[in-house]
Chain A
Amino acid sequence: GAVVSQHPSRVICKSGTSVKIECRSLDFQATTMFWYRQFPKQSLMLMATSNEGSKATYEQGVEKDKFLINHASLTLSTLTVTSAHPEDSSFYICSARWDRGQTEAFFGQGTRLTVV
């Protein structure tokens, strides 16, 4: 099956610093990548949808200046959490697909972000 690699799996950063999370599709071209966050015991919350070569579409309530998404190629999307604060601590997960009607979303391993 298709593989999506997300890095890093865990990161601890100081409040006020920025953190970049990478999401790569290893064996397919991802025309669309999705970024989710998940708080403990809660469901996935879609943050934004990114299509290769165009600006990401952010969900309501998600600050685009704080969560910078770049989908520069068909195999790589990055999420940068800028000026991180403790409330940004969460589990961030990316998923990717190559076709709109795809019957499965392929997920990265997730990134546990802790802001201290």
Chain B
Amino acid sequence: GQNIDQPTEMTATEGAIVQINCTYQTSGFNGLFWYQQHAGEAPTFLSYNVLDGLEEKGRFSSFLSRSKGYSYLLLKELQMKDSASYLCAVMDSNYQLIWGAGTKLIIKP
């Protein structure tokens, strides 16, 4: 079966760095996505990785290792507004998104 694993909840301090991990087992791979979702709102796109390596976009970076079925989202210089759920999703061979359960990130002052 297809499976996406990510931690349920993480806590970090304002101004610090946090890494949210995601491991996956899917039938085929056409890219991995990270989305941010604030409570009661729809997800918003953060990043897309299809090749191995690190993609940096401002305070957010995303890493992918296809051989390990592993990705992480790195958030730097954390701000209170970064408190949200972070969803990892993999696009499988049918171009369908398989979603992780999301990681709730709590930022403390």
- Contacts from A to B (Cβ < 8 Å): 6, 34, 41-46, 49, 91, 93, 100-101, 103-110, 112
* Contact indicator A43/B48 (Cβ below 8 Å): no
6 more contacts with CB within 8 A, not counting A100-B95, A108-B42, are: A41-B104, A44-B43, A46-B96, A46-B99, A101-B30, A105-B45
Residues of A within 8 Å of B31, CB to CB, are 103
* Contact indicator B42/A43 (Cβ below 8 Å): no
A46, A101, A103, A108, most chain B CB atoms within 10 A? A103
Residues of B within 8 Å of A101, CB to CB, are 30, 95
Residue B48 contacts which of A44, A49, A104, A110 (CB distance < 8 angstroms)? A104
A-B contact pairs, 29 of them (CB 8 A): A6-B42, A34-B97, A41-B104, A42-B101, A42-B102, A43-B87, A43-B101, A43-B102, A44-B87, A45-B99, A46-B96, A46-B97, A49-B96, A91-B40, A93-B43, A100-B95, A101-B30, A103-B31, A103-B48, A103-B50, A104-B33, A104-B48, A105-B45, A105-B97, A106-B45, A108-B42, A109-B41, A109-B42, A110-B42
* Contact indicator A93/B42 (Cβ below 8 Å): yes
Least Cβ distance of A3 to chain B in Å? 12
Residue B43 contacts which of A42, A45, A107 (CB distance < 8 angstroms)? A107
Least Cβ distance of A81 to chain B in Å? 18
Residue B44 contacts which of A41, A46, A91, A107 (CB distance < 8 angstroms)? A107
Q: How many A-B residue pairs have CB under 8 A?
A: 44
* Nearest residue, chain B, Cβ from A45: B99
Residues of A within 8 Å of B95, CB to CB, are 100-101
Residues of B within 8 Å of A109, CB to CB, are 41-42
In whole angstroms, how far apart are the Cα atoms of A101 and B87 in the complex? 20
* Nearest residue, chain A, Cβ from B98: A46
Residues of A within 8 Å of B43, CB to CB, are 44, 93, 107
| A43-B97 CB under 8 A given contacts A101-B30, A104-B48, A108-B42 | no
* Contact indicator A43/B40 (Cβ below 8 Å): no
Task: List residues 67-104 of chain B with CB under 8 A from any CB of chain A.
Answer: 87, 95-97, 99-102, 104
